[in-house]
Amino acid sequence: MQTHCISCQLEFEGFDGRKVVAGFDGGAITSDAGALLLRHVEGAIGLFERVAACFIDYRDPDFTVHSVQTLIGQRIAAIALGYEDVDDHDTLRHDPVLALLSESLTPKREDCAVLAGKSTLNRLELSRVGEPTRYHKIAHDTRAIEALFVDLFLEAHDKPPAEIVLDLDATDDPLHGHQEGRFLHGYYNCYCYLPLYIFCGRHLLAAKLRRSNIDASKGAVEEVERIVRQIRKSWPRVRIILRADSGFARDELMAWCEENRVDYVFGLTRNKRLENKIAPALEEACLASRASGQAARVFRDFMWSTKDSWSRRRRVIGKAEWTTLGANPRFIVTSLKPEHRVARALYEDLYCARGDMKNRIKECQLDLYADRTSAHTMRANQLRLWFASFAYVLICALRRLGLAHTRLANATCGTIRLKLLKLGAQVRISVRRIKIAMASAYPYAREFSQAHERIHAEAR
């Protein structure tokens, strides 16, 4: 019944004395001509080949139709284009533009399409770490995948910066089934995972899937140590600052930073002792607020230690703020010296800027479906998270290499997909060329052409 409905003509309200009919019979037409740009930028950074190098293919070549690189390119590009589920690929495998992601325009077997279907891609997502099994013959190297994110970050810079800020944050990844490792998280009030993200500006350096029955900082030392070691191999003189909320203000992480020449600025959970410490400043802010009728802030800079959880005294900055709603004290702890940044600038200019990382996480989890962790095992869900993360890296590379100084220069991944990638076109294949005839009335044709030209220049 469904096949009949799709193949028949669909009649709509008439116009100007004529019938209006439609049908899915246009032939070689794509709604994702923007995949050409993704293929273009992928060629500039070599993403699909490098991700594929992190996998080991134990399949028999004589019975293998789609290479690991084709599977990975197909999966990452589809996520970037808005197709988060492998089920979509039973139809997408016939898309003429997505077919350009493979090594050939003709299938190796008559009963197969150029691209893979959902079953083959599902086996990729269920790939194991280490030795294969009878039904899972593709394996992946976790360390190689994690290192690739940092390599791509380093290569995105023409020269080493003097200073970088690494943002750490944990967020909820709600679960709606009985996946391995699911727990009820009291703060988020749902069953979820608690992935750890590490960004430097827009660059994604780590996406670690974790159970939610842990402290937010669990595993942060290991991730930071790995990333810092890799960065310093290429940039030995760069100054590194960690930035995070109070969930990461743990003695283990701060002590590691102090021992390894890494600075930090973390939020600090307020308590009665801290509030009493800045009580005079809070009174001062209250008087200033009442006099002006606006919110007022007074900062205090002092050395501080907890009663038993910290191994040493550390610099704490208290923001004594009084708003129209009353007192709003906040605190941060930092290893930065007063001569490097004074209290107000450290809080307002450096620490508060960490809020932008929330937008990056939204791009990953909402625009690029990093929260589609519906597989049964955590291993498979981690791989799904990485595929979504690589889709984020791919679109970020498109924005960086092709869209600078355009009206899409600061667009989110979702906006770039909507404005630049979801583009209707007719595909004509002849002996000598493949012609992609895109819509003449396309509003972002200028940006598309500029991105093509810039990425082409970068690739050369």
Cβ-contact 329, 318 below 8 angstroms: yes
Average pLDDT over residues 176-200: 96
Inform me whether the pLDDT recorded for 106 exceeds 70.
Answer: no
Out of 327, 347, 367, a domain closes at 367
Close Cβ partners of 266 (under 8 Å, ≥ 6 residues apart): 242, 243, 244, 245, 246, 248, 249, 254, 332, 333, 334
Judge if 266 and 322 occupy the same domain. Answer: yes
Q: Which helix (H) or strand (E) holds 239?
A: strand 239-244
Average pLDDT over residues 429-447: 90
User: In this predicted structure, what is the pLDDT of residue 339?
Assistant: 87
Distance, in Å, from the CA atom of 226 to the CA atom of 129, rounded to the nearest integer, reads: 19
Greatest Cα-to-Cα distance within the chain, rounded to the nearest angstrom: 84
Which residues, listed in sequence order, are joined to residue 334 by a DSSP beta bridge? 265, 315
Distance, in Å, from the CA atom of 44 to the CA atom of 63, rounded to the nearest integer, reads: 31
Model confidence pLDDT, tens digit, residues 147-158: 999 999 999 999
| pLDDT classification of 6: cutoffs 50, 70, 90 | low
- How far CA 331 is from CA of 292, 325, 334, in Å, comes to 24, 19, 10
Q: Cβ of 152: how many Cβ atoms within 10 Å?
A: 22
How far from the centroid of its chain's Cα atoms is residue 248's Cα? Answer: 20
User: In this predicted structure, what is the pLDDT of residue 172?
Assistant: 96
Judge if 169 and 91 occupy the same domain. Answer: no
Closest CA to 97 of 427, 387, 370, 355: 427
Model confidence pLDDT, tens digit, residues 116-173: 999 999 999 988 777 777 778 899 999 999 999 999 999 999 999 999 999 999 999 9
Distance, in Å, from the CA atom of 383 to the CA atom of 324, rounded to the nearest integer, reads: 47
Judge if 54 and 116 occupy the same domain. Answer: yes
Distance, in Å, from the CA atom of 312 to the CA atom of 305, rounded to the nearest integer, reads: 6
SS3 state of residue 204? strand
Out of 307, 337, 367, a domain closes at 367
User: In this predicted structure, what is the pLDDT of residue 107?
Assistant: 67
Percent of the chain at pLDDT above 90?
A: 78
Q: Find the domain containing 448 and state its range.
A: 2-140+369-459
Compare 25 and 372 and report the one with higher pLDDT. 372
Q: For the domain that residue 303 is a member of, what is the CATH number?
A: 3.90.350
Inform me whether the pLDDT recorded for 281 exceeds 70.
Answer: yes
Judge if 247 and 391 occupy the same domain. Answer: no
DSSP assignment string, 300-359: EEEEE--SSS-SS-EEEEEEEEEETTEE--EEEEE---TTTS-HHHIIIIIIGGGGHHHH
User: In this predicted structure, what is the pLDDT of residue 4?
Assistant: 47
Q: What is the pTM of this model?
A: 0.93
User: In this predicted structure, what is the pLDDT of residue 111?
Assistant: 66
Model confidence pLDDT, tens digit, residues 318-362: 999 999 899 999 999 999 999 888 999 999 999 999 999 999 999
Judge if 379 and 420 occupy the same domain. Answer: yes
* Strand pairing category for 163-170 and 239-244: parallel
Model confidence pLDDT, tens digit, residues 20-40: 888 877 778 889 999 999 999
User: In this predicted structure, what is the pLDDT of residue 457?
Assistant: 86
Distance, in Å, from the CA atom of 316 to the CA atom of 274, rounded to the nearest integer, reads: 10
Closest CA to 262 of 293, 217, 226, 307: 226
| pLDDT classification of 104: cutoffs 50, 70, 90 | low
- How far CA 235 is from CA of 121, 227, 257, in Å, comes to 38, 12, 17
Judge if 333 and 422 occupy the same domain. Answer: no
| pLDDT classification of 2: cutoffs 50, 70, 90 | very low
Question: What backbone phi and psi angles, to 5 degrees, belong to 394?
Answer: -65, -45
Judge if 346 and 303 occupy the same domain. Answer: yes
Model confidence pLDDT, tens digit, residues 222-277: 999 999 999 999 999 999 999 999 999 999 999 999 999 999 999 999 999 999 99
Number of domains in the chain: 2
Out of 341, 367, 393, a domain closes at 367
Burial class from Cβ neighbours inside 10 Å (0-12, 13-18, 19+) for residue 239 reads middle
Close Cβ partners of 62 (under 8 Å, ≥ 6 residues apart): none
The mean-pLDDT minimum among 6-15, 85-94, 398-407, 424-433 falls in 6-15
Close Cβ partners of 383 (under 8 Å, ≥ 6 residues apart): 125, 127, 140
Judge if 255 and 227 occupy the same domain. Answer: yes
Judge if 183 and 265 occupy the same domain. Answer: yes
Quick one: CA torsion of 100, 82, 361, 194, rounded to 10 degrees? -100
User: In this predicted structure, what is the pLDDT of residue 7?
Assistant: 56
Distance, in Å, from the CA atom of 382 to the CA atom of 404, rounded to the nearest integer, reads: 32
User: In this predicted structure, what is the pLDDT of residue 33?
Assistant: 92
Judge if 323 and 224 occupy the same domain. Answer: yes
In the numeric block, the tokens 């490792």 are attached to 181
Distance, in Å, from the CA atom of 433 to the CA atom of 170, rounded to the nearest integer, reads: 48
User: In this predicted structure, what is the pLDDT of residue 460?
Assistant: 66
Judge if 244 and 389 occupy the same domain. Answer: no
Judge if 130 and 158 occupy the same domain. Answer: no
| pLDDT classification of 1: cutoffs 50, 70, 90 | very low
Compare 51 and 104 and report the one with higher pLDDT. 51
Average pLDDT over residues 298-308: 95
